[in-house]
Amino acid sequence: MLIIAAGAARAAAPLDFEVDDALNLNRFVRAGPVAAHLLLRGGAEPRILVAFPAGNSGVGLWFEKGAPAGSWKLASAPRPMHARDAHGRALEGLAAAATVTATELVPHQAVLSSVRVLRDYQLLKSVPAEISVAPAVKGQTLSWSRERLDGAVSYRLTLEVIHGVLADGRIRAAADGTIGVRITALTGEEPLTPLAGAELLDAVAGSDVAARNTLTFLAYREKLLAGSWRFDTYFGRDTLMSVRLLLPALGPTAVEAGLGSVLARLAADGEVAHEEDIGEQAVLDHLKSDGSRSAAPVYDYKMIDGNYLLAPVAADWLLHDPRGRARAAAFLAGAAGGGGGTGEPPMTRGAALLGNLRYVLGKAAAFAAAPDKANLIGLKDGYAVGEWRDSEQGLGGGRYPYDVNAVLVPAALSAAAELEASGLLAPYTGAGDRALLARAAGFARVWRTAAPPLFEVSIANQSAAADVFSYASAQKIAALPAIAALGADELRFHALALDAAGAPVPVMHSDEGFALLFGELDADGVDRAVHALMRPFPAGLMTEVGLLVANPAFASPALQAQLNRNAYHGTVVWSWQQALFAAGLARQLARADLPAAVRSHLESAQRTLWTAIAATRSLSNSELWSWSFSERHYHAAPFGSAAADADEANAAQLWSTVYLAVRPPPALENPR
């Protein structure tokens, strides 16, 4: 079948940029109906993968493990492509020619399906039997093609050897030791509607080209994508945090696209959807649950933090941003959508938001009445995850997360009270709702006062110093600067979580950033939180390559081993968590009631943090990174480059673009 380059009839400005990340070459293309992320991985386990925002679909080819391949190189810019499948239906994608230094490449497994299926194959090396497809071989070309399980769309991957030889299922290098291939990757899933230009970013947004490109690739009218290649679709928490941190820089259309996507996917009881299964992953879900081949989206509601992020983020836009206030009534009156795929008729966004507030107040009532550990909000039964640290050991075995209980619940309750007082919810509330919302401010006071102390950890100075020395020795990192930073006082910090018995999990963490941005802290509380965390690791969280998200130096050896620098939520740096902390510091420094000494401490912390952010600017749009230590210094390492790393990071991450809005003060300005 003839394949031709996509025409110029589409008016959308093209996007084409590259991100080199250790073993991965990432190329992002968006032009007209085409949006595609090409990933070429070298090393001992090379692969070719193309992820499409359309339907969160993708095609990938994994090669057998062998002698390490070198880095891939593109011969020219990838070309947007379109074609037709056997039924005459549109296929959109790209074509690219690339070379790699390797003796041979042996195709092992091709996967053409949902990105979720590709993601699972990358982790588990297994693929559902019903979607497995064998290659067709013709001359120097391998091709894979299949229809989605419901027959509605098709996927295609073609690999033509243009330098070297394809024989006996192996691709052997040419005499110069290199292999050249032409890759064509196509999906039949429905394209999304791009956001770009003034619709996406206001004039005040930062000028960083890489961040702008990344955000543009991930932003659509239907939703904001969490990250590519592994999360090319809606994630509720990621959307809400990104909208909040980007708020000063986003255009109103983009803000409302993000908030609207969350409201459209609420459950009937008001819970925020964490992730959506769409495209073939939805078909697989339905086959498993009811035997049908329906492609109706399936929403995941196991996460608890998004439930308490919606209200404060919505309030910041609808009440505190002049642009949002001017549009608030019209926005809330608009249709929210189908209510999380329940089949119910569309409701207004105002009614949907009210549903979430009812949920928040219902969950908060028990602790407000009796502020005891037993009445905190825990992970859902049967799950080890429930907030942003959503790897199996991300909470260190905890059940009651600090960020949710000490910060987000009271923030949501305060936002509920503000929204009710504003009158914006009046068209959607009855007498019962108004009576319930009248209790929100009182609930918030109880939670704000009583919840944080339950997470307090205090360690005697001598014991803390011994823990730091022991941990630093085991990790082969510097101990003396950290020990010196402890001073003579006891070490105090908030636990990462409480375990099932209500005991604190003694892991220091970066989630104090939530408290700085969303909380109502007194000056002493601000000072203690910032001072503890900004100490050099492993007394605190600070390193030359960034603010770590966890420090298990004061926990058990078993937990230290689980939360290491190869763990997804271990002693690693997440870009957005640094931005959260920076935004929180800026919010606190805007206060007029801080004593001079506290202000001085916060300004020092701000300088230290922005110095580290500037030092790792090349990684700032990626999801996270790890580190090595040599010659008395920390060195950043892309996450996924080490064989022991639990996974690989996304090269493009939505909430890592927030530095377009989160900026250093002028005195610390460093061009981004």
Measure CA 58 to chain center. 19
Q: At which residue do the structure tokens 């790209």 appear?
A: 94
Distance CA 355, CA 265 (A): 12
Q: Please answer whether residues 295 and 283 qualify as being in contact, where contact means their C-beta atoms are separated by less than 8 angstroms.
A: yes
3 state DSSP class of 603: helix
3 state DSSP class of 15: strand
Measure CA 462 to chain center. 38
Cis peptide before 625 (omega within 30 of 0): no
3 state DSSP class of 63: strand
User: What separation in angstroms does the CA of 660 have from each of 132, 402, 469, 615?
Assistant: 42, 28, 39, 17
The pLDDT of residue 340 is 46
The pLDDT of residue 343 is 52
Q: Using CB atoms within 10 Å of the CB of residue 499, give its burial: 0 to 12 exposed, 13 to 18 middle, 19+ buried.
A: middle
Distance CA 147, CA 268 (A): 33
Q: At which residue do the structure tokens 């006996």 appear?
A: 168
Measure CA 226 to chain center. 5
pTM (global) more than 0.85 = yes
Pick out the chain residues at pLDDT < 70. 1-12, 338-345, 645-646, 670-672
Residue-wise burial string across 241-280, b where 16 or more C-beta atoms lie within 10 A, e elsewhere: bbbbbbbebbbbbbbbbbbbbbbbbbbeebbbbbbbbbbb
pLDDT per residue as tens digits for the range 255-272: 999 999 999 999 999 999
Query: Could you tell me which of 142, 67, 155 has the C-alpha nearest to residue 113?
Result: 155
Say what angle helices 349-369 and 305-315 make with each other, to 10 degrees: 120
Distance CA 419, CA 55 (A): 35
Strands (E) in 32-67, as ranges, are 34-41, 47-52, 57-63
The pLDDT of residue 219 is 98
3 state DSSP class of 652: strand
User: What separation in angstroms does the CA of 325 have from each of 245, 321, 414, 536?
Assistant: 18, 6, 18, 42
pLDDT per residue as tens digits for the range 103-132: 999 999 999 999 999 999 999 999 999 999
Distance CA 271, CA 335 (A): 18
The pLDDT of residue 337 is 77
C-alpha distance across the termini of the chain, in Å: 45
CB atoms within 10 A of CB 562: 20
The pLDDT of residue 12 is 59
Distance CA 603, CA 409 (A): 28
Domain boundaries, the chain: 4-187, 234-450, 505-668
DSSP assigned state of 364: H
Cis peptide before 322 (omega within 30 of 0): no
Q: Please answer whether residues 280 and 149 qualify as being in contact, where contact means their C-beta atoms are separated by less than 8 angstroms.
A: yes
Return the structure tokens found at 574: 């997440």
